[in-house]
Amino acid sequence: MCPICKNEKNVIKRGFYRRPSDQKKVQRYHCKICKISFSEQTFALDYRQQKRWFNQSCFVTLCSGVSQRRAAYIFRVVPRTIARRVKKFGEICEQNLCKYRDQRAKVNEVEFDELESFIHTKLKPVTIPIAVEKKTRKVLALSIGNIGAKGHLKKISLQKYGRRPSERMLALKSMAKDLQTCTAPKARLRSDKCPLYPKLVRDYFSEATHYTCKGSRGAVVGLGELKKTIFDPIFTLNHTYAMFRDNLKTLSRRTWATAKRKDGLLLLLNIYAWFHNLWLDRKRIKIKLEVFTV
Ligand SMILES: [Zn+2]
């Protein structure tokens, strides 16, 4: 398929080249309309990479509670290499999630809520709305936005970093918009009793039924969101949150490895979300990051 006109008809084969890094023979193609040449590598995960041998293990490692710097140490590469992989993987995983939403059967039961974390310091908190399918625990949509600090940190945050405009509604809307594509019209949505949610549901899912239940803040110690003794109506969601926190180093509580930028954290979130969905497919031995095609 041509990368510009996205057409297959006018593409012809045009020789090979030997890749210097591992001597692999790569097929070249040519599009007769756009007059451009490309190869099978153009769409590959390891396009223009030198160290392609550690891509898969890097993907799994980053989703196993290992920081980027430690991953660099494990694979004996410089941290910049890992940072580049995170960018590449993050983009691929985001596209994969998007395609997955488009091609999967419509979901009937969804749970959504917001996970709170921070960028660089607790004075700069962010909210991470995540929607999961109740039955399979698969992540359907996620987003991220800045929010203001709460409690005693509010004053210090204002002094140090000025007013931070709240992007909470923006993030929620972006999540809802993505979620819309894969939800059945008469779906059942579950969340806690946050006052912002009913309007969100009315705007984006007009025919859906919205159930709210009493939510509680996750504990800082122990398993956070999971540490409860009473019956939890949005267990699926809190279980997923606990998995996010456990497997993404930057989200774990009381961590040293803090996220440095919002876009960087979003990349990691997408990587983990995709890994999580693959993990739930029960083909764990074969977990492999690929460009997802339908
Ligand atoms: Zn073309």
Distance from the alpha carbon of residue 29 to the mean position of ligand 1, in angstroms: 10
Q: What is the pLDDT of residues 235-265, one digit of tens each?
A: 888 889 999 999 999 998 888 888 889 999 9
Distance from the alpha carbon of residue 291 to the mean position of ligand 1, in angstroms: 20
Regarding predicted confidence, which is higher, 216 or 291? 291
Which token pair is 252? 């774990």
Residues 6+ apart with CB under 8 A from 221: 227, 253
Distance from the alpha carbon of residue 26 to the mean position of ligand 1, in angstroms: 19
Residue carrying the six token digits 């912002």: 196
Q: Report the pLDDT averaged over residues 18-35.
A: 90
Beta bridge partners of 227: none
Distance from the alpha carbon of residue 33 to the mean position of ligand 1, in angstroms: 5
Distance from the alpha carbon of residue 43 to the mean position of ligand 1, in angstroms: 14
Q: What is the pLDDT of residues 136-188, one digit of tens each?
A: 999 999 999 999 998 899 999 999 999 889 999 999 999 999 999 999 999 99
Q: Distance between CA atoms of 175 and 101, rounded to whole angstroms?
A: 12
Query: Is the predicted pLDDT of residue 278 greater than 90, yes or no?
Result: yes
Q: What is the pLDDT of residues 198-230, one digit of tens each?
A: 999 999 999 999 988 876 555 555 555 665 556
Distance from the alpha carbon of residue 292 to the mean position of ligand 1, in angstroms: 22
Q: Distance between CA atoms of 138 and 274, rounded to whole angstroms?
A: 9
Distance from the alpha carbon of residue 94 to the mean position of ligand 1, in angstroms: 25
Where do you find CATH 3.30.420 in the chain? 90-286
Q: Report the pLDDT averaged over residues 85-107.
A: 93
Say what the pLDDT of residue 228 is: 55
Give the fold, CATH level 3, of 90-286.
Answer: Nucleotidyltransferase; domain 5 (3.30.420)
Q: Report the pLDDT averaged over residues 91-101.
A: 94
